[in-house]
Amino acid sequence: MSAAATSAGCEVALAADGRIQVRGELTFATVSKVRIDCLRLFDKVRNLHIDLGGVVGADSAGLALMIDWMREARLRKRKLHFSRIPATLRIVAELSDVEDLLPA
């Protein structure tokens, strides 16, 4: 990994292949800093690919952050791809009736 930023309980890193990797918990306690860290990396990569495979816990704030990233990508006229979305985020999306916003 070439760049990393840590927020209490969550780390954001830029992998050698250009993926933005998120590890830890995406919760109310971490999303503000994680958002800032990820948006900084948006400017460093050509393809916006956020790998959520390292997320071990999430709540509705994590889902809100994903939706915010989608909005930011649209504003920047860039395509965003998520990979390895954890089941917890999919469940929160389903309970919030926004599961159609997430990729299959």
- Asked whether residue 55 is assigned to any structural domain, the reply reads yes
Residues 104, 99: Cα–Cα separation, whole Å? 9
In the chain, the number of structural domains is 1
- Asked whether residue 53 is assigned to any structural domain, the reply reads yes
Structural domain that includes position 80: 47-104
State the Cα angle at 45 between 71 and 49, rounded to 5°.
Answer: 55
- Asked whether residue 15 is assigned to any structural domain, the reply reads no
Q: Which amino acid is at 1?
A: M
- Asked whether residue 17 is assigned to any structural domain, the reply reads no
- Asked whether residue 3 is assigned to any structural domain, the reply reads no
- Asked whether residue 39 is assigned to any structural domain, the reply reads no
Q: What is each CA distance from 68 to 26, 38, 92, in whole angstroms?
A: 13, 11, 15
Q: What is the model's pTM? A: 0.89
- Asked whether residue 102 is assigned to any structural domain, the reply reads yes
- Asked whether residue 103 is assigned to any structural domain, the reply reads yes
- Give per-residue pLDDT as tens, 7-65: 568 999 999 999 999 999 999 999 999 999 999 999 999 899 999 999 999 999 999 99
